[in-house]
């Protein structure tokens, strides 16, 4: 566009289709990443789904205009950060993840099966994969960015072609030039770089980009030497810059948009020069025409959408409706819909093809392959016509990956197959992505023994709609009655090392380290709850500070205490508990030369104890003889944790050197296997899960995020099978695994939340259950043996929570309707781990024992698996007759009335326990309607309240602003918050930049939604910070003006 010639695209309109054309039945993911969250080929659309590691897959076009059904592709064990379709093979999809791997998938044709595994895997690399993009001219070339490094891959050979020079900070975007010769990147160090990967790993050009290090993006303007970048200015204004690599010293054009905080997603159609910009979390799409020759950006149109943007993607030009003059189509990903936005150029005639609007575009046949491109071949992709009569019909199938093995049926753009088999229980169910739970790392149903009630077809349908779930997803943790508490605890020690649980308990008594000198330990009887006297209670005088302590599982009166003097003391508590102070230990074990960190009794053999010390050794003691019998070597740094396998044959350790080790103590003093452990050096724990076949490790990553890792015990060098990030907190997660239910409990000292996950031996590995939250932080959390549980109340775990001044029992229960029956699907025969299977000498001689199992069923209770099946109260009318007799409004009203009545009757079965008598298709239809209506009502009420609050806040700011200076009052009116209110929110009395920033960082973090905070309060904190920053700017300008006047 120039002053002499009008652009043919100046009248372009953005048109939203009717709701019937939207793609619904999905739930988009909310993970923050550098990717666009949605991508499209000529056949498929892929988008980030809510479950971790899962992508939603949906056909781009419905068959004969029919409804498109969303399917699920379980890609990674961690968050999918970015993904990209091949520009040539429309079924080839590459995915990158925080699990440090890149996987390449071949999607099926319509009506075929979703691949159960990736065609090939690249990596793992040096960190989480952030961005990736296929090469525009060569088949099988892929660029991926992880951390500070960019790697160019030969996908077919699964080998890197080049590792580019590391950037100065986190990579934010990368883009290939259209001719495939150069690669551009943007980085958090505020620089733009140009690489020629075939010439060398160093950047050929580099220039300062946007002044703010917030999310920036870079795009090439086709095959020209010009680039487009979007980012933020120093004043946090969103801006678009044009660059020319022939004079790369600075931007040739800069356009400032607004001050919105949402990161911009740019989409450029190089053939027409149309640039679409959409901010994450916003409902406005900008459309500009780019003219690099001038250079300039000219706004063409704006589009206000109904939903807020989570991601944007451009549909390939070969998939456009050219006869309707559609020059660009954008897919907007919202929370629950994919909305196609068409950009149309109005023309009088829509019966003919307009050559001026649709120049020839790049075809689908690659110009070369990976090896030829790397050798210097720079041929270009041939162009093809978009004319319907001359459009190419051939397709290309890349040889880099063979067809994938099928596992899950993919819908053929029509009605879902209602007779789909349940499968093994771990296969990925197809259907809608409208899952209410976001923490499942993949899509899989939980398996376990039968409950005795057969699932109805409607229940299977709901499982396919709601995604994978655990049998314990509704588990409830509750603190028991105050009569069972031990209160008035005084002088508790807060200095026990992080490697210790803080206190220990068995079914009879609890041992609590005290803060007083001499390493005193209070021993309290659980059978005597109540308030402790204000006077001192009898204690054990250990003589030195306590590092760790542990009860003998086979002798409830023997307590082992590790001291900071490198000695282990064995104490015997008298029958009935301590009556007097205990000063002389039963035995003292000496051998370590440095401070001891952890001690653990053998799980099968009596009189065996293992200890780890800062002298880098692990020693095994025979308590009968009071001497060391084995010493394990091989550690190079502090040992964080150790754990016996359930059968007592192997010992696992995790240490500060970032290594996970596995020993067979009776065979060798050196580790049998080693593998990579958690990256962070702040602490870690290890526990055996899934019958001793897997190891679960809790620790930190390089960014101090707490996470759990799952390893196959016999394949430690292969690294973790699955990695799941939880939160950011300073304390190490302490895991407890219930081997009867497969549930792992995770919490840390000083936490208020206990995470629950069911661990499965096959993907998805982790299924989230309800968490337990306490009102105040706990200093420790220790679980009791299974016999302490009340099975009549379906209590599957009991723990002791050490609070500020009280010890509280916590019961974890599963809500069940038929409580009169023994729930044998939750309570299988439990291992009697409190009775030894053999002695220490027999174990040392090479023998192995197996403990017996006990049935937890009370004699008078009948197992639920043997309960008589209930007969339906009435015969239901067939769905076809029901649909023919009543209108949709009548059916909706009846269904809502029935649900309200059922909610009022607490004796009715829970929905997750019984769905019978209603046709499968009806349940899916009504459930979707109820969810949609509820979401609309809640959303409208929330927006109405938000508008009222904003108006009231602005009015109050106006009222307070009248007493402020003119510039300050103007800032209050613009931002909607007064100076006084902003100071109150951030709790600052003086306008000090350091104090403002410190309080802002703290309040923003504690109000984050991921830690249970409020997005509304977080937005208030942000607005208060903006108001104070503006006030500081105004005052600085005033002082500068005063200084200037004084000089003149």
| 55-68 as b/e: b if 16+ CB within 10 A | bbbbbbeeeeeeeb
Non-local CB neighbours of 388 within 8 Å, separated by 6+ positions? 322, 323, 353
Q: Structure tokens of 983?
A: 């100071």
Q: What is the pTM of this model?
A: 0.50
Closest CA to 338 of 596, 611, 58, 579: 58
Q: Residue 652 forms beta bridges with which residues? A: 643, 662
pLDDT tens-place string over residues 591-631: 999 999 899 999 999 999 999 999 999 999 999 989 999 99
Using 50, 70 and 90 to split pLDDT, how confident is the model at 30? confident
For residue 484, pLDDT beyond 80:
yes
Return the C-alpha torsion angle 539, 540, 542, 545, nearest 10: -40
Using 50, 70 and 90 to split pLDDT, how confident is the model at 986? confident
Cα 270–Cα 392–Cα 92 angle in degrees, nearest 5: 70
pLDDT tens-place string over residues 125-145: 778 899 999 999 999 999 999
**pLDDT mean over 828-834:** 92
The reply to whether omega before 124 is within 30° of 0 (cis) is: yes
pLDDT tens-place string over residues 532-566: 998 888 899 998 999 999 999 999 999 999 998 99
For residue 420, pLDDT beyond 60:
no
Q: Which residue has the higher pLDDT, 33 or 592?
A: 592
Instruction: Return the residue matching tokens 């359930």.
Output: 646
Return the C-alpha torsion angle 256, 262, 263, 267, nearest 10: -80
* Least confident segment among 116-125, 442-451, 627-636, 709-718: 442-451
CA distance 154 to 165: 18
Instruction: Return the pLDDT at 391.
Output: 83
Using 50, 70 and 90 to split pLDDT, how confident is the model at 309? very high
3-state class (DSSP) for residue 64 = helix
The strand order across the sheet containing 92-97 reads: 80-85, 92-97, 102-106, 120-122
The reply to whether omega before 295 is within 30° of 0 (cis) is: yes
CA distance 223 to 230: 19
For residue 726, pLDDT beyond 60:
yes
Q: Calculate the alpha carbon distances from 864 to 743, 810, 950 in Å.
A: 21, 25, 55
Instruction: Return the pLDDT at 959.
Output: 54
Non-local CB neighbours of 856 within 8 Å, separated by 6+ positions? 786, 787, 789, 791, 827, 829, 830
For residue 374, pLDDT beyond 60:
yes
Phi, psi of 816, rounded to the nearest 5 degrees: -135, 150
pLDDT tens-place string over residues 203-224: 999 999 999 988 899 999 988 8
Using 50, 70 and 90 to split pLDDT, how confident is the model at 1009? confident
* Least confident segment among 25-39, 344-358, 455-469, 1003-1017: 455-469
The strand order across the sheet containing 659-663 reads: 639-644, 651-655, 659-663, 673-676
Closest CA to 616 of 589, 597, 629, 601: 597
For residue 947, pLDDT beyond 80:
no
For residue 464, pLDDT beyond 80:
no
Inter-residue contact 543 to 518 (CB < 8 Å): yes
Do the bridges between strand 149-154 and strand 141-146 make them parallel or antiparallel, or are there none, so unpaired? antiparallel
Q: What does pLDDT average to over the chain? A: 83
What is the DSSP secondary structure assignment for residue 382, as one 8-state letter? P
Instruction: Return the pLDDT at 886.
Output: 57
CA distance 629 to 816: 50
CA distance 144 to 164: 11
CA distance 425 to 408: 12
Non-local CB neighbours of 263 within 8 Å, separated by 6+ positions? 214, 215, 279, 280
For residue 808, pLDDT beyond 90:
yes
For residue 916, pLDDT beyond 50:
no
The proportion of the chain whose per-residue pLDDT surpasses 70, expressed as a percent, equals 82
For residue 54, pLDDT beyond 50:
yes
Q: For residue 1008, count other CB atoms closer than 10 A to its CB.
A: 16
The proportion of the chain whose per-residue pLDDT surpasses 90, expressed as a percent, equals 48
Instruction: Return the pLDDT at 911.
Output: 47
Q: Structure tokens of 695?
A: 């190891």
Task: Please classify residue 952 by burial: count the beta carbons closer than 10 Å to its beta carbon, then call 0-12 exposed, 13-18 middle and 19+ buried.
Answer: exposed
Closest CA to 725 of 744, 711, 705, 745: 705
Farthest-apart Cα atoms in the chain, separation: 102
Phi, psi of 390, rounded to the nearest 5 degrees: -110, 5
Inter-residue contact 699 to 680 (CB < 8 Å): yes
Instruction: Return the residue matching tokens 């086709």.
Output: 222
Closest CA to 331 of 36, 739, 595, 610: 36
CA distance 118 to 106: 8
Closest CA to 422 of 392, 395, 454: 454
Q: Calculate the alpha carbon distances from 185 to 206, 220, 283 in Å.
A: 10, 10, 28
Q: Which residue has the higher pLDDT, 895 or 1?
A: 895
Using 50, 70 and 90 to split pLDDT, how confident is the model at 451? very low
Instruction: Return the pLDDT at 746.
Output: 95
According to DSSP H, which parts of 627-734 are helical?
A: none
Q: Which residue has the higher pLDDT, 954 or 93?
A: 93
Q: Calculate the alpha carbon distances from 599 to 560, 602, 618, 621, 647 in Å.
A: 8, 10, 10, 10, 18
**pLDDT mean over 97-106:** 90
Non-local CB neighbours of 823 within 8 Å, separated by 6+ positions? 451, 791, 794, 814, 816, 864
Inter-residue contact 14 to 287 (CB < 8 Å): yes
Intra-chain end-to-end CA distance of the chain, in Å? 48
The radius of gyration of the chain from alpha carbons, rounded to an integer in Å, stands at 32
């Amino acid at each position: 566009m120039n002053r002499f010639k009008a652009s043919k695209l100046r009248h372009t309109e953005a048109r939203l289709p009717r709701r019937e054309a939207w793609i619904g039945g999905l739930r988009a993911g909310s993970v923050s990443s550098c990717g666009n969250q949605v991508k499209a080929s000529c056949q498929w659309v892929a988008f980030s789904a809510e479950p971790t590691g899962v992508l939603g897959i949906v056909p781009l076009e419905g068959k004969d205009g029919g409804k498109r059904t969303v399917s699920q592709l379980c890609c990674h064990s961690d968050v999918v950060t970015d993904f990209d379709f091949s520009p040539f093979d429309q079924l080839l999809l590459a995915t990158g993840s925080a699990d440090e791997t890149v996987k390449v998938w071949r999607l099926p044709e319509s009506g075929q099966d979703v691949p159960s595994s990736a065609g090939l895997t690249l990596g793992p690399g040096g960190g989480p994969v952030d961005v990736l993009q296929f090469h525009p001219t060569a088949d099988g070339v892929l660029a991926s960015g992880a951390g500070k490094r960019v790697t160019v891959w030969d996908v077919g050979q699964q080998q890197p072609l080049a590792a580019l020079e590391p950037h100065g900070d986190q990579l934010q975007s990368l883009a290939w030039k259209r001719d495939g010769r150069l690669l551009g990147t943007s980085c958090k160090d505020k620089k733009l770089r140009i690489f020629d990967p075939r010439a060398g790993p160093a950047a050929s050009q580099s220039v300062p980009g946007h002044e703010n290090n917030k999310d920036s993006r870079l795009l090439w303007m086709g095959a020209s030497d010009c680039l487009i970048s979007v980012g933020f200015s120093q004043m946090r204004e969103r801006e678009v810059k044009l660059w020319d690599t022939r004079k790369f010293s600075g931007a040739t054009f800069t356009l400032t948009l607004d001050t919105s905080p949402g990161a911009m997603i740019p989409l450029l159609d190089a053939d027409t020069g149309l640039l679409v910009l959409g901010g994450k979390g916003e409902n406005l799409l900008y459309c500009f025409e780019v003219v690099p020759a001038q250079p300039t950006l000219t706004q063409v149109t704006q589009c206000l959408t109904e939903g807020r943007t989570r991601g944007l993607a451009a549909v390939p030009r070969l998939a456009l409706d050219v006869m309707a003059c559609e020059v660009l189509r954008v897919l907007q990903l919202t929370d629950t819909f994919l909305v196609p936005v068409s950009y149309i150029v109005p023309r009088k005639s829509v019966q003919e093809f307009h050559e001026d609007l649709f120049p020839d575009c790049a075809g689908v046949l690659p110009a070369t392959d990976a090896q030829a491109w790397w050798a210097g071949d720079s041929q270009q992709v041939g162009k093809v016509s978009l004319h319907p009569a001359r459009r190419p019909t051939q397709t290309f199938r890349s040889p880099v990956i063979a067809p994938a093995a099928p596992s899950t049926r993919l819908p053929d753009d029509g009605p879902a197959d209602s007779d789909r088999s349940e499968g093994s229980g771990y296969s990925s169910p197809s259907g809608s992505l409208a899952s209410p739970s976001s923490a499942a790392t993949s899509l899989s149903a939980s398996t376990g023994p039968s409950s005795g009630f057969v699932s109805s077809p409607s229940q299977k349908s709901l499982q396919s709609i709601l995604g994978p779930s655990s049998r314990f997803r509704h588990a409830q943790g509750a603190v028991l009655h105050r009569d069972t508490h031990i209160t008035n605890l005084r002088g508790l020690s807060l200095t026990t090392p992080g490697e210790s649980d803080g206190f220990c308990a068995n079914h009879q008594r609890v041992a609590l380290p005290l803060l007083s000198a001499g390493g005193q330990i209070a021993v309290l009887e659980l059978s005597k709850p109540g308030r402790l006297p204000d006077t001192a209670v009898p204690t054990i005088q250990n003589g030195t500070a306590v590092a760790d302590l542990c009860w003998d599982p086979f002798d409830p009166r023997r307590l082992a205490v590790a001291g900071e003097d490198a000695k282990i003391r064995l104490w015997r508590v008298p029958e009935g508990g301590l009556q007097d102070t205990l000063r002389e230990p039963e035995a003292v074990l000496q051998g370590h030369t440095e401070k001891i960190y952890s001690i653990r009794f053998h799980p099968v053999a009596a009189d065996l104890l293992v200890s780890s010390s800062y002298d880098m050794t692990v020693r095994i003691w025979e308590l009968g003889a009071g001497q060391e019998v084995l010493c394990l070597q091989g550690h190079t740094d502090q040992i964080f944790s150790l754990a016996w396998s359930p059968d007592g044959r192997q010992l696992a350790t995790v240490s500060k050197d970032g290594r996970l080790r596995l020993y067979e103590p009776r065979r060798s003093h050196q580790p049998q296997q080693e593998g990579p452990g958690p990256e962070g050096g702040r602490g870690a724990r290890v526990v055996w899960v899934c019958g001793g076949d897997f190891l679960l490790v809790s620790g930190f990553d390089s960014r101090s995020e707490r996470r759990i890792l799952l390893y196959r015990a016999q394949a430690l060098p292969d690294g973790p099978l699955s990695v799941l990030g939880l939160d950011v907190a300073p304390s190490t997660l302490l895991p407890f695994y219930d081997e009867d239910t497969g549930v792992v409990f995770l919490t840390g000292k000083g936490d208020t939340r206990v995470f629950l996950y069911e661990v499965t031996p096959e993907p998805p590995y982790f299924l989230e259950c309800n968490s337990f939250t306490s009102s105040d932080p706990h200093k420790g959390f220790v679980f009791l043996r299974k016999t302490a549980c009340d099975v009549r109340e379906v209590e599957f775990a009991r723990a002791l929570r050490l609070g500020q001044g009280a010890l509280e029992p916590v019961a974890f229960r599963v809500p069940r309707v038929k409580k009169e029956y023994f729930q044998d699907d939750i309570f299988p025969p439990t291992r009697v781990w409190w009775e030894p299977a053999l002695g220490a000498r027999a174990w040392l001689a090479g023998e192995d024992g197996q403990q017996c199992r006990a049935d937890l069923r009370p004699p008078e209770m009948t197992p639920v698996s043997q309960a008589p099946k209930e007969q339906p109260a009435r015969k239901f009318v067939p769905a076809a007759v029901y649909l023919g007799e009543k209108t949709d409004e009548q059916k909706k009203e009846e269904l809502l009335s029935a649900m309200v009545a059922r909610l009022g009757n607490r004796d009715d079965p829970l929905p997750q326990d019984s769905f019978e008598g209603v046709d499968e298709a009806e349940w899916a239809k009504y459930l979707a309607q109820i969810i949609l209506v509820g979401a609309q009502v809640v959303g409208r009420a929330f927006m109405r309240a938000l508008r009222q609050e904003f108006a009231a806040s602005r009015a109050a700011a106006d009222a307070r602003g009248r007493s402020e200076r003119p510039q300050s009052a103007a800032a209050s009116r613009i931002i909607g918050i007064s100076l006084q209110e902003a100071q109150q929110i951030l709790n600052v009395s003086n306008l000090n930049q350091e104090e403002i920033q410190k309080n802002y960082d703290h309040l923003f973090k504690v109000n984050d939604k991921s830690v249970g905070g409020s997005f509304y309060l977080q937005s208030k904190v942000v607005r208060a910070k903006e108001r104070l920053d503006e006030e500081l700017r105004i005052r600085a300008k005033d002082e500068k003006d005063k200084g200037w006047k004084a000089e003149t």
